[in-house]
Every structure is written in C-alpha cells, then in structure tokens.
Structure 1
Amino acid sequence: MKKISLILCITLALFSCKNENNNTSVDLEENRAKSYDQNDGFITVKGLYVYYRDAAVLETKQEIYGVVIDDNLQLLEKEVKPFKKEATDMVPVTVRVRKFKKPEGEEGWPYRVEIKEILKVEAPNPESNDVIKLAK
C-alpha cells in the first residue's frame, strides 16, 4: 500500500509541475515587455499592412491601427512593394511601434501607431481569400 501511495504521489507531483505552454509559435501581437531586449516604450506588432491613397493601416488579430505617415512608413512601403501585385494588397509585417490614442475630433480608429523599426516583411499567403477590390 505504501508503494502504491508513493508512486501515486510521485506521478501527481510530476504531472502537476508541468505548466509550460507547448505552443512553439510565438505570437508577437503586442509584446509590451522588453521588446527585443529594449526597454524604450515601443511595442512589437505583427499584422497585415496596406498603404493606399494617403492612408496607411496595420491590421492585427485584435485591432486595426491607423499608421502615421512619415519617413519610416516610406521605408516600409519600399520593402513591401515587391510583394504587392495590386496597390490594395495587404502584406504581413512585424514592426516596432509607438502606440497612442488618436486626437479628439479626428476620424479613424481609436489608436494610431508610429513605426520606429521594421523587423520583418513576409510574402502574403497566396491561398488567402482576404482580397478587397476597390472600384474606380
């Protein structure tokens, strides 16, 4: 009886200590902790990016952000251009940004982001059906 109790206790102890997450794909949605070992207040965001007719948008799984149009946005646009077949194509990107609320009285999404660093630009998934066509 003591051996069975001992084996049962050891088994319970081993299984109860296993609280780690086996999900190997790290979601970089908003890593508010030290972003790539930097503590500068910026966050890392992974999402779909599009810039069309003086409007830039970054869409993540949970939120849509308006993007500040500046020199860093122009650099990102140069990097995503080879991946676009049409001007309205959305391209997956990972960027470090400064997130802030939009000014009162302006149209748009509640938060805006200002791109501070471009980390990764990926080719869009050709099997994705997330296509938006704009008529002229």
Structure 2
Amino acid sequence: MKKISLLIAVFICLLSCKNETKQVVDLEENRAKSYNPNDGLITMKGEFVYYADAAVLQTPNEIYGVVIDENMHKLDEQVKPHKKEDTDMVPVTVRVRKFEKPEGEEGWKYRVEIKDILKVEAPDPEKDDVIKLSN
C-alpha cells in the first residue's frame, strides 16, 4: 500500500511540474529577446496609449511617437482589456527600434517602431495622476 501511495504522489508531482516548465521556457524566451545586444533593438518600459490615430509611449524620462503598423495594432489589442476609457495609458514593456523623426514633421523628437511585445500590465488603480475636464 505504501508503494502505491508513493507512486501516486510522485505521479501527481510530475504532472504539476509540467506547467511550471512551460512558464520558465516562455520567460527565458522573452528574456533572450530582450537582451540580444546585436539586433539593434532596445527594451523600453513605459505607458502606451493609442487614440484618434496617434500612438504614444511615455517612459519616465521621455515621450515617443509610435509608428502605426501591424505590431502597434497588436499591442493596442492586448492593451484594450486593461482600459476603462479610450485615453487610459497602460504599462507595457516592448522591444523597439528608436530613431529621430523626419525633419520638418510635427511631433516628438524620437519615434519608436515596436518589434516585440514582452509584457502588458494592468494599470495601478491607486495611481491618481489623471486630470479630467468637465463642464
């Protein structure tokens, strides 16, 4: 009876560890994407918003215009469930190609083109930095 109980316990442990391995592999895959120094991309963490045909990534130090392309739309789809209003900014971590905006165009000095989406987080509900205007 002890052998059967031990065998069942070992079997249950092996089944429960299977999911953890997948999570570790996904984490390592994202980490490999974010730290490859030879691809010319940089990892940025900031708040993302896409509203009225304008996309912005705001980091603690700077604001970047985001190139509107397929990857930006994928990020917007992942961000939508975390928004209460269309203008809400959502914390994200992305791999981007950073470049200066073309001469003579309006907007922020630098633009970013999203290459990989590493993480999308829910906004902090305790954060109170929104200014709303009303009549």
Q: Same fold (TM over 0.5)?
A: yes
**Cα RMSD after superposing both structures:** 1.8
Counterpart amino acid of 2:123?
Answer: P
Q: In the alignment, is residue 101 of structure 1 matched against residue 100 of structure 2? A: yes
Counterpart amino acid of 1:39?
Answer: N
How many residues are treated as equivalent by the alignment? 103
Unaligned ranges ≥5, structure 1: 1-33
CA deviation map 1:37-78 (0-9, x unaligned): 352000000000000000000000111000000000000000
State the shift of 1:134 in Å.
Answer: 6.3
| Counterparts of 2:116 and 2:131, CA distance in 1 | 27
| Counterparts of 1:72 and 1:97, CA distance in 2 | 10
Counterpart amino acid of 2:125?
Answer: P
1:1-80 alignment runs, 5 A limit: 35-80=34-79
**8 A contact 1:99–1:114 mirrored in 2:** yes
Counterpart amino acid of 1:105?
Answer: G
| Counterparts of 1:95 and 1:66, CA distance in 2 | 14
Unaligned ranges ≥5, structure 2: 1-32
TM-score by length of 2: 0.71
CA deviation map 1:14-51 (0-9, x unaligned): xxxxxxxxxxxxxxxxxxxx942352000000000000
State the shift of 1:109 in Å.
Answer: 0.5
Structure (1 or 2) with the greater helix fraction: 2
Q: In the alignment, is residue 117 of structure 1 matched against residue 119 of structure 2? A: no
| Counterparts of 2:95 and 2:131, CA distance in 1 | 26
Match of 1:82 in 2: 81
TM-score by length of 1: 0.71
